[in-house]
Amino acid sequence: MTSVYPLEVFPTAIRTTGVGFAAAMSRVGAALGTFLLPMGLDRYGARFVLFVGAAVLALGAVVSHLLAPETTDLELAHASRLAHGSE
């Protein structure tokens, strides 16, 4: 998702910057998760950590569904304009 979707919604002039930013943010999330998971397991237990993980995934799904435009059957230029409210 971090390498395909930004290519569809960012304008051509900044498309690679969008992909790089998405990839960087995914690495930050992975690093935070790797750091916080053992502390959460020790302090709160596996059940709580799994519920928090599920909540984060559900929140991400809802936000993506609400804010990310559908790009199926759209040309790249049209998808980019749609994502930025130009159309």
Higher pLDDT, 11 or 77: 11
Query: Has residue 22 got a pLDDT over 80?
Result: yes
Model's pTM, two decimal places?
Answer: 0.65
Rounded to whole angstroms, how far apart are CA atoms 41 and 25?
24
Higher pLDDT, 46 or 69: 46
Rounded to whole angstroms, how far apart are CA atoms 10 and 31?
26
**Which pLDDT score is estimated for 44?**
96
Query: Has residue 81 got a pLDDT over 70?
Result: no
Contact of 23 with 3, CB cutoff 8 Å: yes
**Which pLDDT score is estimated for 46?**
95
| Local confidence band at 39 (pLDDT 50, 70, 90 cut-offs) | very high
